[in-house]
Amino acid sequence: MAILKFRVYFEEDDSIYRDIVIKHTQAFLDFHGTILKAFEFDNKHQATFYRSNDHWQKGREISLEVYADHEYKMAPLLMKDTSMGSEIKNTNQRFTYTYDFQKRWDFLIELINVSKDGDAGSEYPKVTRTEGISPKQYGTKGLLGEKFADIEEKYDLSKSAEGFGEKSEDGEDVNYEESGSEYADEQDL
């Protein structure tokens, strides 16, 4: 039994990737589910793989299902019926993967290793390496997380907040003289 190791890159940033190992007999549907879990995406949208060449040109399509609103050059293969090994044409095989046709989440996939035997006790497919913070499927994901949003709400850092007054043309605080004269008056007493 051959074990295939793929590197799945987020198309917009090749420093964000996941290494996934899968048996050559497993279906593309298993690979699809593992990619979504690895990048923390839900499983609610349309998806398709394309066999690709060294220039990432799209070839034969391997689709989650046949979509009525999608144009096909030829009838697609279905993920559930297509084994991983059947679509490996060379040792440098590449695929592209598109998830959610409206948002167009695109991933580049390359075969990086083929081994004859896997771990007998391991379940496949599985993620063996994770690099970079995955993109957030909905909204934005910050490096600082939710705690930073709490700090922003606690301390109003707008210009109208205390200590952040308006500036004159010279860059001086407009209300500086008033507060300075009050301070001077107090010292004279």
Asked if the structure places residue 83 within a domain, the reply is: yes
Asked if the structure places residue 14 within a domain, the reply is: yes
Give the model's pLDDT for residue 135.
86
Q: Per-residue confidence at 65, pLDDT binned at 50, 70, 90?
A: very high
Residue 143 CA: distances (Å) to CA of 68, 147, 149:
39, 10, 11
**CA–CA distance, 156 with 99 (Å, rounded to integer):** 39
Asked if the structure places residue 12 within a domain, the reply is: yes
Beta strand pairing status for 126-131 and 13-23?
A: antiparallel
Asked if the structure places residue 110 within a domain, the reply is: yes
Residue 108 phi, psi dihedral angles, 5° rounding: -110, 135
Give the model's pLDDT for residue 170.
66
**pLDDT at residue 159 is higher than 70:** no
**CA–CA distance, 181 with 186 (Å, rounded to integer):** 9
Asked if the structure places residue 91 within a domain, the reply is: yes
- Structure confidence by residue, pLDDT tens digits, 95-135: 999 999 989 999 999 999 999 877 777 899 999 999 999 88
Q: Per-residue confidence at 24, pLDDT binned at 50, 70, 90?
A: very high
Lookup: tokens for 123: 């379940």
Please, are residues 112 and 98 in contact by the beta-carbon 8 Å criterion?
no
Q: How many domains in the chain?
A: 1
Domain that holds residue 46: 3-131
**CA–CA distance, 59 with 61 (Å, rounded to integer):** 6
Please, are residues 39 and 106 in contact by the beta-carbon 8 Å criterion?
no
Asked if the structure places residue 27 within a domain, the reply is: yes
User: CATH number, domain at 28?
Assistant: 3.10.290.30
Asked if the structure places residue 78 within a domain, the reply is: yes
Q: Per-residue confidence at 152, pLDDT binned at 50, 70, 90?
A: very low
